[in-house]
Every structure is written in C-alpha cells, then in structure tokens.
Amino acid sequence: MSAVVVVHGGAWAIPDELAKASVDGVKAAAREGSSVLRSGGSALDAVEAAVRALEDNTVFNAGHGATLNIDGELEMDAIIMDGKTLASGAVSSVKNIANPVSLARAVMEKTPHAMLTGRGANLFAESIGVSTVSADSLITKYERKEWELRKKYMTGVMEEFNLEWAHDTVGAVAVDCAENVACATSTGGIRNKMVGRVGDSPIIGCGGYADNLSGAVSCTGHGESILKVTLARLILSHIEQGKSVSDASQLSLQTMGDRVQSAGGAIVVSPSGQWAATFTTVRMAWAAVEHDVLWFGLDPNEKQEEMLRL
C-alpha cells in the first residue's frame, strides 16, 4: 500500500478573503507531511510535520495566528497520538510556544503522563529546552482586530460560534508504508473564550484518536459539542462495525448534529489507506496526498486534484 496524509485547516464559515490562503496552506502542509513519508519517516513524524506547518501559517488558528481569550491572551491546545502503541501526548492552555504539537509529542515521549496543562506545560517546555517566544510574535494584526471587534459587540463564545465567526482548529492524520497510523490536532480555541477554557482538541478520543486496528481521526468544530459525543472515537467505532471511513464520518457528524445541534468536520485515514475529509459546516479547508496526487477542497462536495510536484 502507499502512504497517505490528510490535513485540515478547520471547519467553519471561512470567508472569501481567507479562502485561497486557507487552501494554499493545507496543500503546503499536506506536501510537508507527504515529504516526510516519502523519505521514510513514520506516520507520527508526518502528522507532526504537517501540523507544525499549519501552526507556522498565520492564516490558521494554531500557533502563529491563534485566537485570543477574553483577556486578549493566547492559550493553546494540542494532541498527538501513535496508533501502533496507543501512546498519546497533549498540552492545554499553553502560552508562548510556537509549535504546541511538538510539545505534545514531548509529553508523550519524555514523561509518564498523557497531558500537561497551563503553567505546568510551560515549565516542562523550559525543562527540556523548548524555546519560548513572545506572545506578540504569535498574535497577528488580523486576530487582534477581530478580537477587539467581537469583544466590543459580542457576549459569549456560543453566540460567536452560532454567528459563524469561529476561527478553528488544524489537524493531520497519516498512514505510513508499515500501515501504522497517527493523528495530531492543534488549536488556539474559540475567540473570546473564558480564561482556562479547554475544548476537544487535546482530549483523547474527542479532538483526535489513532489506533492501528481501525484508523486515525482529527476533528474540528465547536469543542464543547465534540466533547459531548467523543467524536473521534465515535467515528472509529463505526469503522470497527464495518462502515467505510466516509460513511463513518458522515454518520458521526450527523449524530452530533442531531444530539447537540452542532456542526463540525473530520479527517480520517484507515490502516489500508482509505481516507475521507468530511464536514457539515459551511466550509472546511482540507488536502490529502495519495500516491502522486494532491487532493484538496474547501466547499461541500468539492474535490480537486493536481499532480504532486516532487
């Protein structure tokens, strides 16, 4: 089988002025993950590389460009998971870290724990030599402007989300030539969230999950809603019952809509290389590399392709 990587840049009402940059960004991240796989890297290496590329891209709500909480500060979350061993690492409410996904991997590989949060996560980063950066270097002019606007005219993060002004999560899933799968998800959360709020992204089984027996998932959407239905694990449970990756994703997102009246998105890959990018929001920027083809889309039912330039 051929290795596959799939990435997303968040499921939300992406405005036209961000559409091209969002698609270009996920395409670049998918190429980055594919390059790792082609050079013999593992699925775990590939999802970390892809998500780092998204965290470094100011278009997306992760790392550089992450959204601000009610106090105008950054609090970022991330998870990474290895489907071969079920090892996972996560961080939540971290500050001054450019690539939370790599810190999450360090939690997985260098501690006996699965998640570190807040000050403890930052102290761990310092202890292993992870460089911190100034908050100003991570906050974009666009985000500061949007935060000021929403703070002036909005009250409550759910109202913001319902008006489709959310600016969402990034993620990646991959399967390598050894049929090992992995996932990674990273986010700045919901704009104007309460201090200390943590959504689905760093929570195992919700924002992401990876298991060589079924597949890997990275989710995106309203965190509190995804948490209620444990979306990532729900998708894999349908796969384990014989559903295709596409049907499992669609059925699970429909369940979330029916039970908690919320929309979202997910990318999925199976150990055999089947993959899907599914969403019930207005748009989701996504891209995938399979064989020598780069697939990508933004609008519902859109699936474009171009030959991968090696």
Cβ atoms of residues 69 and 37 within 8 Å: no
Structure tokens at 241: 């019952």
Q: Which residues of 112-125 are buried (b: 16+ CB within 10 A; e: fewer)?
A: eebbbbeeebbebb
CA distances from 168 to 77, 150, 164, 289 (A): 12, 15, 10, 22
Count Cβ atoms below 10 Å from residue 183 Cβ, excluding itself. Answer: 34
Q: How many residues does the chain have?
A: 310
* Cα–Cα distance, 307 to 191 (Å, whole number): 37
What sign does the dihedral 63-218-278-196 (CA atoms) show?
negative
- Catalytic site includes residue 169: yes
Helices 245-260 and 231-240, packing angle to 10 deg: 130
Which one of the listed residues 169, 185, 230, 280 is annotated catalytic? 169
Nearest CA-CA partner of 226 in 166, 299, 286: 166
Count Cβ atoms below 10 Å from residue 140 Cβ, excluding itself. Answer: 15
Please count the CA atoms within 13 angstroms of the CA of 237 that sit on its side-chain side. Answer: 10
Nearest CA-CA partner of 22 in 196, 236, 198, 220: 220
**Positions marked catalytic:** 169
